[in-house]
Homo-oligomer: A and B are copies of this chain.
Amino acid sequence: MALASQPSVSAKNEGIEECAELVEKMMNELGIRTKVLRMEGSAPLLYGEMKSGRSDKTVLFYNHYDVQPVEPIEEWRSPPFKPETREGRLYGRGVSDDKGELVSRLKILEAFLEADGEIPCNFKFCFDGEEEVGSPHLDQYIGKHKELFKADAVFWEWGGVDEADRPVVQLGVKGNMVLELALRSLAKDAHGKTSAALPSAPWKMVQFLSKIRDETGRIMIEGWYDDVEKLSTEEMNVVQKEPFDAKEYLRVYGAKGFLGGMTPSEAKEALATMPTANISGIWGGYTGPGAKGIVPAEVHCKLNFQLVQHQDPDKLFALFRRFLRKTGNSDIEILWHRGEPAARTSHNNPFAQACIRAGRRVYGKKSVVRHSASGSGPMYVIAKRYKIPAVSIGVSAPDSGMHAPNENLRIDLLEKGILWISETIAGYVNGPS
């Protein structure tokens, strides 16, 4: 696969322009009309469209042509940019995330054209070159070209099957807000003998953090849940029907039980529906062997919040700052890393239903419906702006090693995934048969 041989590591600005050219060429060869959108300091965003004579409906495909860095390089069994087939899988950086998915979308168009000479509805493409570095310009691109990207539904970049080869229909992603806190109370570490009189950065940070989340995981910042919409009984049923092997989940992570003594059913619900606050790192003072009696001058903490549908990172950030102020911790500095709202599509949406039905037909197994992936991404940029349904279905396996060495693509899933998306489009355009 030529595309997989072309490095395109956005984090290192390696091969991005070349890769964008290559993708544009592939699109043009299929008759897709393209535009290369550019913005100062950004990778090119590729736009593409093909009109259909059959339907006024438009589906948009969001994918990205950039990939993760290859490190640790020594763990690859074959060179990351020389794709190699072994035992039914293609190995190489990006073959799954997201070049394999991107190519599958082009193949769908090609297959429709070959079979019918026509596509069943209008196709649009949005191929990002910065997804692996957080899509920092996507929102601006779409805002600048509102009409261009307008669509009735969007296929998100990833998807596929679960561990039991059941088709998984992902109906959303959680949002996130990533902060870093720093508190400096002294100019330098002080001798432990001063601890009776000097302010302690670690104690103050610990006391502040302890007010953020209770022992069950609930966030205690005033107003945090104001915009959270409770799932309907029907949506909750969908969550509860999702397969979840609690014992295996705990075993994999080596945990004795779930947070705050949750039952497996509560844990499953929390994973799909709950906003979270997470300390991903904390450090300050002496951390070497033995003991050193000091009052540390400073302490740091990294916080990751997961947001659910309707929570707005900017609003939550304002709530967080107010909470900091109200608890007397204005001396704690906040560094804002990033924030993304969640996005979610109802499983009752006709587009979602088309995915669910097609999945069952193609795989011969009931589709697993997930309201919210535990990960996040810029789905909101498109889904929220146009108020259109977004689903993640695709061609990847759970053991495809995304972001890791020996990333791979199961060739049987590439074929099945293409069929799945094609049937979804047919079903969406024509309605349930």
Contacts and interface: CB of A to CB of B under 8 A. Distances in A.
Interface in A27-47: none
Interface in A186-242: 186-188, 190-200, 202-204, 206-207, 209-211, 213, 215, 217
Contacts of A195: 217, 276-278, 304, 306
User: At the interface, is chain A mostly helix, strand, loop or mixed?
Assistant: mixed
A338 interface: yes
A390 to B, nearest CB: 18
Contacts of A176: 293
A2 interface: no
B210 A262 contact: no
A208 to B, nearest CB: 9
A152 interface: no
Contacts of A257: 199
Given A285-B302, A291-B180, A291-B304, A198 B258 contact: yes
Interface residues of A, number: 76
Interface of A: 174, 176, 178, 180, 185-188, 190-200, 202-204, 206-207, 209-211, 213, 215, 217, 249, 253-260, 262, 267-268, 270-271, 274, 276-287, 290-297, 299-300, 302, 304, 306, 331, 337-338, 373-375
17 contacts: A178-B291, A191-B375, A192-B280, A193-B373, A193-B374, A195-B217, A196-B217, A196-B271, A199-B255, A199-B258, A199-B259, A203-B213, A206-B209, A281-B285, A281-B286, A282-B284, A286-B302
